C-alpha cells in the first residue's frame, strides 16, 4: 500500500496490453505522485504517457539498477489466474535482495516463494501480498443503516472500469462536500485506498461476510461507493460478483459498460449479455436481499472518438432512460446527481 514517503517502481514487464497493465495504469492515475518509474523491458525509454496514456513523463526503465533510490516494487499487471510469471522471479529476488518492499496483488503469494522469501528475510525487506486474507465471518444481514447510502458499481464484464468509476464518483461526491468513502474490493483498489478486502481471494463461504464487514466498519460515512468485481454473468467469476452484490446490499447500482466490447474478456467465445437484460438480472438478484435499482450508466468509451462517444451516449440514454456518462470524458456530475437523488429518497423513507 502506498504511503506518502514511498517511491514506487511499477513492474509491467511482459504485459501484453494496456488492459493487462490495469493495476499499473490505475496506480499511475490515482497515486502517481509516488511512482518514480515503470520497469518494462519491452517499453524501456518511453514515458508512461507514451506507453500507457497516463502518468505524464514518468520514465519506463529496463532494469532495477536504473532506479537505485526506489523503495517499493509493485507488481503492476494482473495476469489471468493470478500466477507469478516465471521470468519475473529474478527481478523480484533482486528487489528483495536490495531491501525493497514488494507489493503484489497476485493469487500466488510472493511470500510463499522460498527464494523470494529468503532474499527478503536476509535484507529485512517487507513482502505485502495484498490478496492474503483469513476472512472467516459469515454475513449476518443485520445492522446495515439507511443513513449511510451504499452504491455498488456493477458491470458488463471484467476490466471495464468499475474501480475507476467508483474512484471518480468519490471525487465527484467529495467535491460537493459529501463524506464519501471508497470500499476497495480488489488488489489495485486496496493499493490505492490503503484498506479494503480482496474479495476474489476470500474462501467462498465468507465472501458475503467479508464485504458486509467492510460496510459495517464504514457506516459513519454518508456514502459508500463499493468497487464491483467482474459481473454476475461472467462464466468464471460470477461467484465473486454475486457475493459482493449480496454482501454490500446496495441501495443502488451504477452499471459500467464499454462501447464496442462484444465478448467476455478472456473468454472470447462467450458473448456479453445485452445491457437491458443484465440490468434486469442485477435488479432481480439484488432484490432477493433488498430492492435495488441501477440508477445510472458509466460508459467506457476509450475505443471510440469524442464524437462517436457523444452519439453513443445519447443513443443509450434514450434506450435505457438512465443518466449516463463516461467518467473520464464527460465527468460524473450526472451520476453524482443520481446518487444524491437516491440519497434524498432513502432519507425520506
| C-alpha–C-alpha distance, residues 260 and 156, integer Å | 12
Q: Which is nearer to a second copy, 53 or 235 (CB)?
A: 235
For 1, 83, 159, 198, 239, the CA distances from 135, given in Å and listed in that order, are 19, 21, 25, 10, 16
Element (H, E) at 97: helix 89-97
Report in angstroms how near the CB of residue 281 gets to a second copy at its nearest.
6
| Residue 83 exposed, middle or buried by CB count within 10 Å (0-12, 13-18, 19+) | exposed
Supply the DSSP symbol for 20. Answer: T
Report in angstroms how near the CB of residue 277 gets to a second copy at its nearest.
8
Query: 92: which 3 cell numbers?
Result: 523480484
Report long-range pairs for 80-89 (Cβ below 8 Å, ≥24 apart).
80/266, 81/107, 82/106, 82/107, 82/108, 82/131, 83/107, 83/108, 84/108, 84/110, 84/113, 85/13, 85/14, 87/13, 87/14, 88/11, 88/13, 88/14, 89/113, 89/115, 89/116
Report in angstroms how near the CB of residue 274 gets to a second copy at its nearest.
11
Report in angstroms how near the CB of residue 24 gets to a second copy at its nearest.
20
Report in angstroms how near the CB of residue 349 gets to a second copy at its nearest.
19
Element (H, E) at 215: helix 207-216
The gap between the terminal CA atoms of the chain, to the nearest Å, is: 39
Q: Which is nearer to a second copy, 147 or 205 (CB)?
A: 205
Query: 252: which 3 cell numbers?
Result: 443502488
Longest dimension (CA), the chain: 62
Report in angstroms how near the CB of residue 257 gets to a second copy at its nearest.
15
Report in angstroms how near the CB of residue 139 gets to a second copy at its nearest.
4
Supply the DSSP symbol for 112. Answer: G
Q: Which is nearer to a second copy, 63 or 141 (CB)?
A: 141
Report in angstroms how near the CB of residue 205 gets to a second copy at its nearest.
4
Q: Which is nearer to a second copy, 108 or 195 (CB)?
A: 108
**Cβ(284)–Cβ(242) below 8 Å:** no
Q: How many residues does the chain have?
A: 349
Q: Which is nearer to a second copy, 281 or 346 (CB)?
A: 281
Q: Which is nearer to a second copy, 19 or 310 (CB)?
A: 19
Q: Which is nearer to a second copy, 248 or 301 (CB)?
A: 248
For 38, 67, 186, 188, 211, the CA distances from 167, given in Å and listed in that order, are 22, 29, 13, 12, 18
Report in angstroms how near the CB of residue 284 gets to a second copy at its nearest.
5
Q: Which is nearer to a second copy, 221 or 289 (CB)?
A: 289
Element (H, E) at 190: helix 187-193
Q: Which is nearer to a second copy, 136 or 303 (CB)?
A: 136
Q: What is the contact surface with a second copy in residues (CB under 8 A)?
A: 80-82, 107, 136, 138-142, 199-205, 207-209, 232-247, 266-267, 269-270, 273, 277-278, 280-281, 284-285, 288-289
Amino acid at each position: 500500500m502506498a504511503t506518502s514517503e514511498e517511491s514506487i517502481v511499477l513492474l509491467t514487464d511482459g504485459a501484453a496490453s494496456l488492459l493487462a497493465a490495469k493495476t499499473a495504469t490505475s496506480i499511475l492515475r490515482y497515486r502517481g505522485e509516488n511512482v518514480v518509474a515503470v520497469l518494462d523491458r519491452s517499453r524501456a525509454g518511453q514515458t508512461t504517457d507514451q506507453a500507457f496514456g497516463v502518468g505524464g513523463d514518468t520514465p519506463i526503465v529496463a532494469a532495477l539498477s536504473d532506479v537505485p533510490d526506489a523503495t517499493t516494487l509493485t507488481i503492476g499487471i494482473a495476469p489471468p489466474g493470478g500466477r507469478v510469471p516465471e521470468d519475473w522471479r529474478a527481478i523480484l529476488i533482486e528487489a528483495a535482495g536490495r531491501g525493497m518492499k514488494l507489493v503484489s496483488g497476485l493469487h500466488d503469494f510472493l511470500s510463499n516463494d522460498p527464494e523470494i522469501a529468503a532474499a527478503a528475510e536476509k535484507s529485512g525487506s517487507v513482502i505485502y501480498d495484498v490478496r492474503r486474507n483469513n476472512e472467516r465471518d459469515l454475513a449476518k444481514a443485520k445492522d446495515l443503516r439507511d443513513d449511510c447510502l451504499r452504491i455498488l458499481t456493477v458491470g458488463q464484464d471484467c476490466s471495464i472500469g468499475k474501480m475507476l468509476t467508483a474512484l471518480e464518483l468519490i471525487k465527484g461526491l467529495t467535491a460537493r462536500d459529501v463524506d464519501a468513502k471508497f470500499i476497495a474490493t480488489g488488489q489495485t483498489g486496496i493499493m490505492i485506498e490503503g484498506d479494503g478486502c480482496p474479495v476474489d481471494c476470500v474462501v467462498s463461504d465468507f465472501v458475503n461476510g467479508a464485504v458486509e464487514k467492510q460496510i459495517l466498519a464504514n457506516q459513519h460515512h454518508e456514502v459508500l461507493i463499493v468497487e464491483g468485481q467482474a459481473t454476475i454473468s461472467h462464466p468464471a467469476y460470477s461467484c465473486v460478483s454475486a457475493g459482493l452484490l449480496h454482501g454490500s446490499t446496495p441501495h443502488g447500482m451504477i452499471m459500467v459498460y464499454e462501447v464496442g466490447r462484444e465478448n467476455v474478456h478472456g473468454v472470447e467465445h462467450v458473448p456479453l449479455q445485452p445491457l437491458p437484460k443484465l440490468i434486469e438480472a442485477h435488479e432481480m438478484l439484488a432484490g432477493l436481499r433488498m430492492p435495488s435499482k441501477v440508477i445510472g450508466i458509466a460508459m467506457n468509451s476509450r475505443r471510440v472518438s469524442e464524437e462517436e462517444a457523444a452519439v453513443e451516449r445519447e443513443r443509450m440514454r434514450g434506450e435505457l432512460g438512465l443518466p449516463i456518462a463516461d467518467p473520464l470524458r464527460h465527468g460524473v456530475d450526472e451520476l453524482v446527481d443520481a446518487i444524491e437523488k437516491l440519497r434524498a429518497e432513502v432519507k425520506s423513507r
